[in-house]
Amino acid sequence: MSVALGLVGGVAVDRALGDPERGHPVAAFGASAGALEARLYAPRIEAGALVAALSIAGAALPVLVADRRLAGASIARAATGAAVVWSCLGGRSLWAIGDQLAGHLERGDLEAARRLLPSLAGRDPSQLDASGIARAATESIAENTADAILGTLVWGAALGPAGAVVHRAANTLDAMHGHRSPRYARFGTPAARLDDALGFLPARLGAWLAVLLAPVVDASTNSASPGDLTTFVGTPSTTNTVRTQTGGRRAGAGGSRWAAARVLWRDGRNHPSPNAGPMEAAFAGALGVRLGGPLMYGDRPEVRGTLNADGRDPDAQGLRDAVRLSRAVSYATLGVVIAARLGWFSWVTRVGSSPRVAGGRSLGWFGRVTRVGSRPRVAGGRGGGLR
């Protein structure tokens, strides 16, 4: 129960306060990992693995020890867990930057949008138009929903506060070392592979929740009266209503679970990242926008597969929809992992209360079966238990 309360508390604090302006634990971790890299760097996988192991252990072990020592103090343990989860989350900051970028685009202030984009996406904004900025931001919101929010919730629920720290540390190391460059081609491999492994489940859970919650996009854009509806266009995968110019929903505005599921299934692998691909594909289908394609990271061009080729170009409203969908997926994930955690705790408690044999061992499932089998018998010789 303390773990579940810590997750809820951490999400609540992040929603209310966001990231601390100074002394952020993730920044401190990055500085520590950078110092280790400076001392131990070598262009070998073994060196990268050593730096990753020492960095992650140094961050997670103190949290694990504190959590174990507070095992008998539920309130203190939950409060500590909430503080740790808060330090690992980045939801409010992610959503705030997305909304700010959308505001700049709505006002036509491309220079302000270009200045803000690097805080969300590692692209060269100097040559991007409004659609390019919206595309980069939408892709980043989709990917970072899994990296900065869902991973913390999933691993925090599975392994407690230390699990949240391990995920956040691995993700930070991947951001620092997981580059395709001569320096990090081998050194950064362990961090990148660990981040891929830890992000596998959160990304797929988030992608399918985005499919399930796609109608929240429709709710945010479909404000026209019934009389504005004129026709339906497209195949079942791209069916979206078209409205007159009097207002309401735009053509291809998204909100279709079917379209989101189809794009996820078809295009989820059209991405160099095994975890960003499903998230971005699901968001592209749910939002009705086209993502992926050629881009620039600094002076390095990269061509990615297109996600939802039938979608419209991203725009400011689509970016606001991405923030809305990210928020919905995050809160749904919180509910899912808490339910899973409490269900597991309840099952373990029931098993632990089963009859015990000599030596104190629990009979577990067998004990419950034998109790059913030993119930009084009714007419016909059937047991009074399961029928």
Residue 17 has pLDDT above 70, yes or no: yes
pLDDT attached to residue 255: 86
pLDDT attached to residue 359: 53
pLDDT attached to residue 356: 55
pLDDT attached to residue 179: 82
pLDDT attached to residue 320: 97
HEC-encoded secondary structure of the chain: CHHHHHHHHHHHHHHHHCCCCCCCHHHHHHHHHHHHHHHHCCCCHHHHHHHHHHHHHHHHHHHHHHHHHCCCCHHHHHHHHHHHHHHHCCHHHHHHHHHHHHHHHHCCCHHHHHHHHHHCCCCCHHHCCHHHHHHHHHHHHHHHHHHHHHHHHHHHHHHCHHHHHHHHHHHHHHHHHCCCCCCCCCCCHHHHHHHHHHHHHHHHHHHHHHHHCCHHHHHHHCCCCHHHEEEEECCCCCCEEEECCCCCCCCCCCCCHHHHHHHHHHHCCCCCCCCHHHHHHHHHHHHCECEEEEEEECCEEEEEEEECCCCECCCHHHHHHHHHHHHHHHHHHHHHHHHHHHHHHHHHHHHHCCCECCCCCECHHHHHHHHHHCCCECCCCCECCCC
What tens digit of pLDDT does each residue of 211-230 get?
999 999 976 655 443 333 33
Against a cut of 0.75, is the pTM above it? yes
pLDDT attached to residue 55: 97
377 compared with 285, residue with greater pLDDT = 285
pLDDT above 90 as % of the chain: 66
**253 confidence band (pLDDT: 50, 70, 90):** low
What tens digit of pLDDT does each residue of 93-130 get?
999 999 999 999 999 999 999 999 999 988 888 889 99
pLDDT attached to residue 226: 37
Q: What is the mean pLDDT of residues 253-264?
A: 91
**135 confidence band (pLDDT: 50, 70, 90):** very high
Lowest mean pLDDT among 185-199, 200-214, 365-379: 365-379
**376 confidence band (pLDDT: 50, 70, 90):** very low
Give me the residue spans of the domains in the chain.
2-349
Residue 367 has pLDDT above 80, yes or no: no
Residue 144 has pLDDT above 50, yes or no: yes
Lowest mean pLDDT among 53-57, 70-74, 188-192, 287-291: 70-74
pLDDT attached to residue 387: 36
What tens digit of pLDDT does each residue of 159-169 get?
999 999 999 99
If you average pLDDT over every residue of the chain, what do you get?
A: 84
pLDDT attached to residue 66: 95
pLDDT attached to residue 294: 74
What tens digit of pLDDT does each residue of 23-80 get?
789 999 999 999 999 999 999 999 999 999 999 999 999 999 999 999 888 899 999 9
pLDDT attached to residue 296: 66
